[in-house]
Structure 1
Amino acid sequence: MKRGIYAGSFDPVTLGHLDVIRRGGLIVDELRIMIGVNPKKVGGFFKVEKRLELIEESLEHMKWFGKDRSAFPVGTFSGLLMDYCKTHAVAFNIRGLRAAQDFNYEFEMHGTNVDMAPEVNTVFLVAPPSFQFISSTTIKELASYRSPALRKYVTPCVVGALLEANQA
């Protein structure tokens, strides 16, 4: 079984993330969607539990991915991603790239990752033009203004959670 991981903060999950999940699922038999939890960092817009819930709910909008839902487990991990990959027999590290700055960051990390876990293959998936400018920061900004454009970039459950969080 080819096992992959798509790790991130997903704060919140966007349609760009779901696109990476869909395309990553074409490469591996199982794609773990994992929120990296760093105990040294506090905060985030949504608590980790809410992010997990929003990912799970958002995956329900992906009926078209052609695989059983069980092929996309969702969870959290702490520590180094490559340590997680080695411990859980994950052979593919799926990374989404929106722009050149994403590539530069990921390329720097890739060198360390290869050194730590040469058996883990990093796969870079370049975002299509419609998702290249979606970021969680932009999504949160749109939500703070209750912009109708929000619906273009996230699933309905994420829209609801963002609008609810911005009511105060």
Structure 2
Amino acid sequence: MSKQVVAIYPGTFDPISLGHEDIVLRAAAMFDKVILAVATAHHKKTLFTLDERMDMAREAMAAYPQVEVVPFTGLARDFVRSHNATVMVRGVRTVTDFDYEFQLAGMNRELMPEVETVFLTPSAKYQFISSTFVREISLLGAGDDGQNLVSAGVYERLLAKRAAK
């Protein structure tokens, strides 16, 4: 019996976008199990709490049994090892993303040589989406701005945040 290949896709997912979902589903087609690791984001202020981000990610991934949504804090190395993962998935949209992710992959290889980093580019229709753009467009826009960037459940939560401002 072959060993199950577990991949980790870490990020803050503030909020999870259709671009993130695209990367997760493509990774799920490649690996036996994908863990969407929602980071506590100790290094930046988030729009949504960890619990809110977890709920949105779970809702977005509910139809995919091979995808598990798990919170994490601390070093990705420790999280990856605690879940017996052998792959770390990273989404790259631009050369700037690649430059940063390439450096991070090198550091991760130094810390955990047994884990491979796999770079996935989003489908063309999602290449321009970033959580930063989603937040800005949805919170500062009007009407249905941002609706085509996230799932319906996430969009409703963004509208609630906009109304609360």
Provide the TM-score with structure 1 as the length reference: 0.90
**2-side partners of 1:87 and 1:50: how far apart?**
24
1:84 Cα shift? 1.5
**2-side partners of 1:9 and 1:100: how far apart?**
21
Residue 61 of structure 2 is matched in structure 1 by 59
Following superposition of structure 1 onto structure 2, how do residues 26-105 of structure 1 map, counting pairs within 5 Å? 26-39=29-42, 41=43, 43-60=45-62, 63=63, 69-105=64-100
SS of 1:110's equivalent in the other structure is: helix
Q: Please say if residues 6 and 31 of structure 2, whose CA atoms lie closer than 8 Å, have aligned partners that are also in contact.
A: yes
Provide the TM-score with structure 2 as the length reference: 0.91
**2-side partners of 1:42 and 1:16: how far apart?**
21
**1-side partners of 2:98 and 2:116: how far apart?**
16
Paired residue total: 160
Residue in structure 2 matching 1:148, options 121, 144, 152: 144
Q: Please say if residues 146 and 163 of structure 1, whose CA atoms lie closer than 8 Å, have aligned partners that are also in contact.
A: no
**2-side partners of 1:38 and 1:132: how far apart?**
23
**2-side partners of 1:88 and 1:58: how far apart?**
22
Same amino acid, percent of matched pairs: 31
Residue 158 of structure 2 is matched in structure 1 by 162
Structure 1 unaligned regions, length at least 5: 64-68
Q: Please say if residues 138 and 145 of structure 2, whose CA atoms lie closer than 8 Å, have aligned partners that are also in contact.
A: no
1:114 Cα shift? 0.5
Structure 2 unaligned regions, length at least 5: none
RMSD: 1.4
SS of 2:8's equivalent in the other structure is: strand
